[in-house]
Amino acid sequence: MLRACWMRRHQQKLIPAAGQQEWHHVFGAYNWADDTIVYTTAASKNSDSFVAFLDHLAQTFVEVTVPIVLILDNASYHHSYATQAGFSLLAPEKIVPIFLPVYCSMLNLIERYWRNLKDFACANKLYPDMVQLIQAVEKCLQSQNDFQNVKRFTYSKHIS
């Protein structure tokens, strides 16, 4: 994945790549309290995969007594009937979805983490296959939850 490069005006730079285009998706939630990530990966980005992520999130925080506030953009699978059923069945009192205004995903703090993840795991790197790319992304995700890692992504939380 190229992060940035210069091109002549009106000339799209072509980067040769072998094989078919493949996709693999990460669903994640950023824990503001300790700068950790709860995540799952899926072959497709749809309501079923998102509900599986919600289930994983609820299981991860099974001992938490306060509601989990989940900030969401307006992706279609966030509003689907399956997802709404997932919210009501999995943990109606545990996970509180808050939807951002349309086209304001930059207000979601996890977007800054996704940019960091892409910088470290993907930017300007060419992996020979999807398996190695997924391994690099998961290694970066796991290192975020390692409190000894000095390269962890953190937010400044002091109030002035």
Using 50, 70 and 90 to split pLDDT, how confident is the model at 10? confident
Q: Is residue 153 part of a domain?
A: no
Predicted confidence at residue 123, as pLDDT, reads 85
> Is 0.85 topped by the overall pTM?
no
Which has more confidence, 126 or 47?
Answer: 47
Span 76-132, pLDDT tens digits? 999 999 999 989 887 678 889 999 998 888 888 899 999 999 988 888 888 888 899
Does residue 14 lie in a domain region? Answer: no
For the record, the structure tokens of 126 come out as: 């060419």
Flag whether 61 is in a domain: yes
Model pLDDT, residue 62: 86
Q: Report the CATH number at residue 97.
A: 3.30.420.10
Whether residue 67 lies inside any domain: the answer is yes
Q: Using a pLDDT cut of 70, give the percent of the chain over it.
A: 91
Both structure tokens of 75? 């992706």
pLDDT for the residue 18: 64
Residue 97 lies in a domain: yes
The confidence score (pLDDT) of residue 158 equals: 64
Tell me what the mean pLDDT of segment 17-46 comes to. 89
| pLDDT of 36 above 70 | yes
Q: Is residue 62 part of a domain?
A: yes
The answer, yes or no, to whether residue 65 has pLDDT greater than 70, is: yes
Q: What CA–CA distance (Å, rounded) separates 56 from 65?
A: 17
CA dist 78 → 47, 63, 87 (Å): 7, 25, 10
pLDDT value at residue 63: 87
Residue 93 CB-half CA count within 13 A: 4
Q: Which domain does 110 fall in, by range? A: 25-144
**Domain presence at residue 119:** yes
Cβ neighbours of residue 61 under 8 Å, at least 6 residues apart?
38, 68, 94
In a domain, 136, yes or no: yes
Total count of domains within the chain? 1
